[in-house]
Structure 1
């Protein structure tokens, strides 16, 4: 197992961006092994591409389940295409997959390509997994911030930096007017969507957003895994559940 840190020259972001990769050995008994099942794993708000390595057992888990894990930098973009020309959605859903498959011994198979994340990265996993539903077969969303047009509990009209950031991300002043390709509820209505694993702690300040998504998916009669347990917005919760997500991903 190797842990690699590097930079990708991204056309979609128009600059070099850092990433980390956890890679099993490509050879066993001097013979090249089959391409690796791959998890694209996204960090949260105000964090960095190496956050999962620094705060969880992800290297140990990648070794245990013999998968590759690619961890890109998303800055504070929510992993969507932005009005300033930074196309984070296209970077995650298209460019990053293409480039890393060319760099490493990664599977090109739909069934072996997955995406997951926490908080902002949980939204990024949902948005890009649902939008690029022919690339990712499974989505893991932990303690996710859910941006969706039916939001009623959070008023964006109050002036503060977070509301301004969300307005920039969704391309509108209100959730009701947000761009539909960033609306998780709208994207969930696609005819074919990836399998879903959603989890959140009951003490998490955005717990109700995951619960609302779970209830909405039930209304649409979309099969999915939903789990909640005592816990807050913390690495101890994510470290516990990321193993469950990976175990579920490799189970087929």
Structure 2
């Protein structure tokens, strides 16, 4: 009797192990930067069933890389199964801020993410190939990058989010290698003014992007996020804004991602 119980237990465990999202590390090529760039692509357990899937792009923060969400946010792959989505974690460089830099012409991460990578993913995976099936979010530098890219490419992304994003970096003129990408603020103020997210809201199209913004009250980016929230309200741009106790760390982001992906799942259900 005990052997039979063990046998069925092993079958149960094995079947459970077989039903899980798959994490792939892939090489993509950026023609604009003339180099290979790695990314992680997470496909849900249902991927083998032949249908097409919406995609969520997750952008990492300053000094991190494409592996950040998998190594520092344990269990991120389960959300691919929960919401039946593909999750893509691209490498955005140590400090690109996801710009096509006006001063460093070897840094073209706007072109890479919004064009080259999206096209590569659509070519190599079973995706739904329109903006209503694409969302983008990120944390810190990646939070800025997600909103920046989505506002500038509303034909590519239909929903966007930010977790503790550096949505207005002008108060931090010497930090996080931003001067390497835009030039010193004192010498190149125009670059800073036209590339900070809070100044891009004029690009928002009526009934356009679905937006969700999240930042902890103890975060050094809290003030700029609340300012962005107030400007969105003033412009009557619909968005979700979440604020709760928390700092600029993985404990906060591991909670934030739950709300971001739920928001995107609702967007996909409504629009696909």
User: Normalised by the size of structure 2, how large is the TM-score?
Assistant: 0.83
Counterpart CA distance in 1 for 2:184 and 2:53 is 40
Where does residue 245 of structure 2 map in the other structure?
230
Is the Cα–Cα contact under 8 Å of residues 172 and 178 in structure 1 kept in the other structure?
no
Cα shift at 1:63: 1.3
Where does residue 186 of structure 1 map in the other structure?
199
Cα shift at 1:194: 1.2
2:85 to 52, 67, 74: 67
Counterpart CA distance in 2 for 1:191 and 1:234 is 29
Q: 1:176-215, CA deviations, whole angstroms, 9 ceiling, x for partnerless residues?
A: 4225552312321125141110000101121111111111
Write out aligned runs for 1:37-186 (5 A).
Answer: 37-56=54-73, 57-75=75-93, 76-82=95-101, 83-85=103-105, 86-147=107-168, 151=170, 154=171, 156=173, 162=175, 165-174=177-186, 176-178=189-191, 181-186=194-199
Counterpart CA distance in 2 for 1:176 and 1:223 is 29
Counterpart CA distance in 1 for 2:104 and 2:34 is 11
Where does residue 18 of structure 1 map in the other structure?
38
- For 1:69, what is the secondary structure of its paired residue? strand
Q: How many residues align structurally?
A: 239
- For 2:203, what is the secondary structure of its paired residue? coil
Counterpart CA distance in 2 for 1:221 and 1:209 is 18
Determine if the alignment matches structure 1 residue 6 to structure 2 residue 39. Answer: no
Is the Cα–Cα contact under 8 Å of residues 131 and 154 in structure 2 kept in the other structure?
no
Which 5+ residue runs of structure 1 have no aligned equivalent?
none
Where does residue 211 of structure 2 map in the other structure?
196
Which 5+ residue runs of structure 2 have no aligned equivalent?
1-20
Structure with the higher fraction of residues in helix conformation: 2
Cα shift at 1:221: 1.5
Counterpart CA distance in 2 for 1:191 and 1:6 is 33
Structure number with greater Rg is: 2
Counterpart CA distance in 2 for 1:13 and 1:194 is 28
Cα shift at 1:223: 1.1
